[in-house]
Structure 1
Amino acid sequence: MRGTDETSGSLFSYVDLEARIPARHPLRKIRQVVNDALASLDAEFEALYTDFGRPSIAPERLIRASLLQILFSVRSERQLMEQMQYNLLFRWFVGLGIDDQVWVPTVFTKNRDRLLTTEMSRKVMAAILAHREVAPLLSDEHFSVDGTLVKAWASMKSFQPKAEGAPPEEDGPGDPHEHDTPAKDQPAQSEPETEPMPRATHQHRNAEVDFRGEKRSNATHVSTTDPEARLYKKSPGTGATLCFMGHALMENRCGLIVQGDLTQADGHAERRAALDMIHRHSPGSTRRLTLGADKGYDAAGFVADLRKACVTPHVAQKSRYSAIDGRTTRHKRYSQSIKHRKRIEEAFGWAKTVGGAAQTMYRGLERVRSRFILTMAANNLARLPRLLAT
C-alpha cells in the first residue's frame, strides 16, 4: 500500500536528544572526555565570574561550541548559530535542549573572547590530556617539535609605510629584509581614489595595486588591518606573506599534541618556542628527555640549551656545520625520533584543512594564539575515538 505524502506538525515530542544520537557515533566518546575535562576546571571557571549581575553563557557550553566549530569546519560563529538551530547533533553536543534558544552570534563572540584566552586554552588542553583514559596514551620521555605559518587576516594591500615619527622596528633574524621585484616595462596600475564615488552612480570596487619595484620590510611597513602580523617567508623560493608562526610539541607514542603556542614570525621564533614549550610541559624533569626536530633547529645555541636542560637533541643534521655529532646519532633512538617527528605534520595538516588554521579569522596575537591552541586540542579529540577503541 502506498503511503501518503502529508505533513502534520506534532505538538509534542517524546523522543529525547540522547536517544537520537547513534550509540557508536565518535562524538559520544569526545563529549565524554570533554565533559570530564571541563568538570575538572570548575574552580577555574568559578573564579572568572562574579556572584551578581545577569547570567552569561555557561563557559562549558562556550568551549563545547568552539570545539564543535573546529571539528566540523564551521567557518563563522554566525553559521555555527544557524546550524545549532536545526542540527540536533550540535545541540546535543553543546548541551542545549530541543526547545532552548540559540544565542545571538555577537553575544556568543563577546562571551567567548572574554573566556578563551591563551591561558584558558592551555588549561583546556591540559585537562583533556590529564583525563584518566587519555593520560596512559602519552609518552613522558620522547617528544617532537615543529612550527608552521598561519596566514594573518590581512591582505598585502594593508602593508603600508609606517607613520612619520614612528620608531623603526628591526627585522627579526631570518626575515626577508627587503621584498622588491624589478619593475615591469608597462606602467603600474593606478592607485585607488582617496574620495569614494557616490553609490548611486558607481559600484564600490577594491582597486588593483601593483607592488613591482617597491621595497617593503617589517622595519618600514606595518599592516593597518593587523599590526601584529609580520611579513615573512619560511623557505626560499616562496613569496613572503603576512602571517604568524604556530608551534606544537608532540609526544612520540601516539602523536598527540601536548603543548601549543603561536608567536610573531621571525627566524628564531621556532627555537625560542621549542624551549618554552618543553620547559612548560616538563618543568624540572629528572628524566632524560629526547626532542626530535627538523634541520631548522640545528643551531649550536639551541642544541646547547637543550643539553643544559637535560634534553637530548634528536635534531636532523644539516649537510654542513651541524651542531649534532656522533654522540647523538650513534644511538638507535636517534633514528627512531627522526622517523616519528614527521608525524607532527599530520596535526598541522588537519589544523589547516579541517580546523581552519590555514588563514586565521581573528586579528591580534592573543586571539590568534588562543584559537590555535584550541585547534591543537581539537585535533587530539578527533583522534581519541580510534585511539581509545584500540
Structure 2
Amino acid sequence: MRGADVLQESLFTVRKLDDFVPAAHPLRPIREQVNQALVRLDGLFARMYAEDAKGGRPSIAPEKLLRAMLLQVFYSIRSERQLMEQTQYNLLFRWFIGLAMDDVVWVPTVFSKNRDRLIEHDAVVALFNEVLAQADQAGWLSGEHFSVDGTLIQAWAGHKSFVRKDGDDEGDGSDFRGQRRSNDTHASTSDPDARLYRKGGTASELRYIGHTLSDNRHGLIANARVTHADGYAEREAAKAMIADAVQAAAEDAQVTLGADKGYDAAEFVEALQEMKVIPHVAQNTSNRRSAVPDEIASSDGYAISQRKRKLIEQGFGWAKFIGPIRQVMVRGLAKVDQVFMLAMTGYNLVRMRTLGQLRLQSGKAA
C-alpha cells in the first residue's frame, strides 16, 4: 500500500541530541578528546573573561566557540556565515558544539568578534598544546626525532591591491605589466602583512608561509606557526621550533631533525649542532658541497629520518584539501596564524582518532 506524503510532527519529543548521533560516528572520539583538553583550559578561559565579571551580556562560551571553529575545519566550511547557517538546522553540529535544539545560533559578526578575543590570549595555541599532551600521554610521540617543512599559504588579497607605499602608482593598480615591484617599495592595501613571494616554479602571489615540526613516530604535528613569506623564513622558523623541542626533551635525548634540501645551508646546520641537534637534512650536492657531514648522512638514523620526514606532507595535504589554508579568508598575520594552528589541531585530532582505533583493534586481536 502506498504511504501518504504527509508531515505530521509530534507536539513534544523526549529524544536528546545525543540520540541522533550514531554510536560509531567519527566525531564522537574527537569530541571526547576536545572536551578533555577544554577542561584543562578552564583557568585560561576564566582569565580571559575576568574583566567582564562585573556585568554585561554573556559572551559566547569559549568552549563552544572553539568546538564550532573546529567544525569549520573538519567540514571545509568557508565562512562564519555558512557555519552559523549549518548550525541552525544541523543536529550533528549542535551536538558537537554543545547547543541544545532550542538554543539560538549566534550572529556571524558576534561570532567573529569573539573569535578575535581568542587571539589575544593564544587560546588556539593552548588547545593545540593540550591535544598534543594527550598524544604524549598515549605514547604516540617520540619526543626526540622530528621533521620540519614549510608550505605556501595564499593570502586573501590580489595583485591589484599591491601598490607603491609612497602612493605614486598610476591608475587602480590593475595594469602593472612592465613595472618593477618588490616588497620593499610596495604593499597590499587589502592585507599589509602579506608578501609577494614565489617558490620553485610557482608564480609570484601575495602569500604567507606556514611551518610545522612533526614528530617522526606517527607524523603528528608537534609545533606550528605562520610567518611572513621570504627566503629566510623557513630556516628561521625551523630553528625556533626545534629549540622549543630541545627544551622539552629529556636531558640525555639525542634529538634529530629531518628536512629537505632547501634547509641544507651551512648557517642552519651549524645552528642545529650548537643546539646539540643531529642534522638529518637531505644533502644538496648540485654543483656545491653539502653542509651535512658525510658521516651523518651515511648513518642508519639518517636514512630513517629521510623516510619519515615525508609524513609531514600529509598534514599539509589534509589542511589544504580539507582545511582552510590553501587560501585563507582572513587578513593579518595573527588571524592567519590562528587559522593555521586550528587546522593543525584538527589534523592531530583526526590522526589521533585513527591511532586510537588501530590500538583498539590490535588489542582485540591479541
Q: Could you say whether these structures have the same fold, taking a TM-score greater than 0.5 normalized by the shorter chain as the test? A: yes
Deviation at 1:98, TM superposition (A): 0.8
Corresponding residue for 1:55? 58
Deviations 1:20-74 (A, max 9, x none): 1111111000000000000011111111112222211100000000001001000
- The AA in structure 1 aligned to 2:241 is M
- Equivalent residues of 1:218, 1:230 under 8 A apart: yes
* Equivalent position to 1:85, from 84, 88, 105: 88
Question: Residue 209 in 1 paired to residue 212 in 2?
Answer: no
Shift of 1:238: 2.5
Do the aligned residues in 2 keep the contact of 1:117 with 1:370 (CA within 8 Å)? no
User: Residue 7 of structure 2: SS of its match in structure 1?
Assistant: coil
SS at match of 1:260: strand
**Residue number in structure 1 paired with 2:354:** 386
Corresponding residue for residue 316 of structure 1: 282
Which residue number in structure 1 is paired with residue 213 of structure 2? 249
Match of 2:186 among 207, 211, 221: 221
Task: Write the letter of the residue equivalent to 1:49.
Answer: Y
Higher relative helix content: 2
Q: Is the 8 Å Cα contact of residues 244 and 263 (structure 1) preserved in structure 2?
A: yes
Do the aligned residues in 2 keep the contact of 1:77 with 1:109 (CA within 8 Å)? yes
Task: Tell me by how many angstroms 1:12 deviates.
Answer: 1.3
Q: Equivalents in 2 of 1:124, 1:5: separation in Å? A: 48
| Structure 1: stretches of 5+ with no match in the other structure | 166-189, 193-207
Answering whether residue 226 of structure 2 is matched by residue 262 of structure 1, we say yes
Q: In the TM superposition, what is the alpha-carbon distance from 1:3 to its structure 2 partner?
A: 2.1
Q: Shift in Å at residue 210 of structure 1?
A: 3.5
Q: Find the counterpart in structure 2 of residue 147 from structure 1.
A: 150
Separation of aligned partners in 2, 1:296 and 1:258: 21
Among 114, 117, 124, the alignment partner of 1:114 is 117
Q: Which moved more, 1:124-133 or 1:347-356?
A: 124-133
Equivalent position of 1:325 in the other structure: 293
Give per-residue Cα distances to partners, 1:139-176, cap 9 Å, x unaligned.
Answer: 111100000110111000100011269xxxxxxxxxxx
The structure, 1 or 2, with the larger RCO (C-alpha pairs under 8 Å, 6+ apart) is 1
Across the aligned residues of Structure 1 and Structure 2, the Cα RMSD in angstroms comes to 1.7
TM-score in terms of structure 2 length: 0.92
**1:22 paired residue number:** 22
For residues 1-390 of structure 1, the aligned pairs below 5 Å read 1-50=1-50, 51-53=53-55, 54-117=57-120, 119-131=122-134, 135-163=138-166, 191=171, 209-235=174-200, 237-283=201-247, 285=249, 286=251, 287-319=253-285, 320-390=288-358
- Tell me, in whole angstroms, the C-alpha distance in 2 between the residues paired with 1:48 and 1:310: 38
Count of matched residue positions in the alignment of Structure 1 and Structure 2: 350
Q: 2:246·2:255 contact (CA, 8 Å) conserved in 1? A: no
Match of 1:52, as an amino acid?
K
Q: Using the alignment, how far apart are the partners of 1:116 and 1:222 within structure 2?
A: 24
User: Which consecutive residues of structure 2, in runs of 5 or more, have no partner in the other structure?
Assistant: 359-366
Deviation at 1:19? 1.3
Question: In the alignment, residue 346 of structure 1 is paired with which amino acid?
Answer: Q
SS of the residue 1:282 aligns to: helix
What SS is found at the alignment partner of 1:225? Answer: coil
